[in-house]
Amino acid sequence: MANYTGPKVKLSRRVGVPIADIPKHTTKRQLNPPGVHGFRGRRLRDYGIRLNEKQKLRFHYNVLEKQFRGYMKEAGRSQGNTGTVMLRLLEQRLDNVVRRLGWARTIWAARQIVGHSHVLVNGKKCNIPSYQVRVGDTITLKEGIKKLVRENMESLPGHETPDWLSFDPSTLDAKIVAVPTADQVPFDVNMNLIVEFYR
């Protein structure tokens, strides 16, 4: 699967919100639009507002457009609110679980840890960042990466593991104990606008 490898802070500046919880993205200067006075040009119309909201979510989960559209189709076919199902599908990606556990500081670092086969799901190697975890799955790490993961966790002192994940800091073992809900996503996004964008 293809992956965005360009400058990451540029994405935060484009959508006007930090897409990663690290100082590089959250400083006020980085959230200002490019240009001497941060000139944005014309006011966004309805289409532009919906597009910007969609791009925010895409960048936050590091998903390309084709895959994002596939998640939207799957969410539309599923029972329940399309926006809520969409968020659940994105939250249950393996690379996102690694980020939510605090094992990596950003989604890009989490994707690299998964892609280099450092993560085990139910005792089996899994190097697919988009792998969908399920309730009851256990997530563990290979010995060689544990030192780096502990350093990453120390660099995120205020990090909190969401309630849908059970985590043992001593062994670095985690378990999926529930299905994530929309209110447990620590990223502010209007899912109604995104659903409208694809209609």
The verdict on domain 9-90+187-197 having CATH code 1.10.1050.10 is yes
The domain spans of the chain are 9-90+187-197, 94-178
Q: For 94-178, CATH number? A: 3.10.290.10
Structure confidence by residue, pLDDT tens digits, 14-47: 887 888 877 777 776 656 666 666 555 667 788 9
Q: Give the Å distances, CA to CA, from 135 to 138, 174, 184.
A: 9, 11, 16
The answer to whether 20 and 12 have CB atoms below 8 angstroms apart is yes
Structure confidence by residue, pLDDT tens digits, 52-66: 999 999 999 999 999
Question: How far is 198 from 96, CA to CA, in rounded Å?
Answer: 23
Average pLDDT over residues 98-106: 91
pLDDT of residue 160 exceeding 90, the answer is no
pLDDT of residue 121 exceeding 90, the answer is yes
Question: How far is 29 from 183, CA to CA, in rounded Å?
Answer: 29
CA-based nearest residue to 13, from 27, 78, 51? 27
Query: What is residue 33's predicted lDDT score, i.e. its pLDDT?
Result: 64
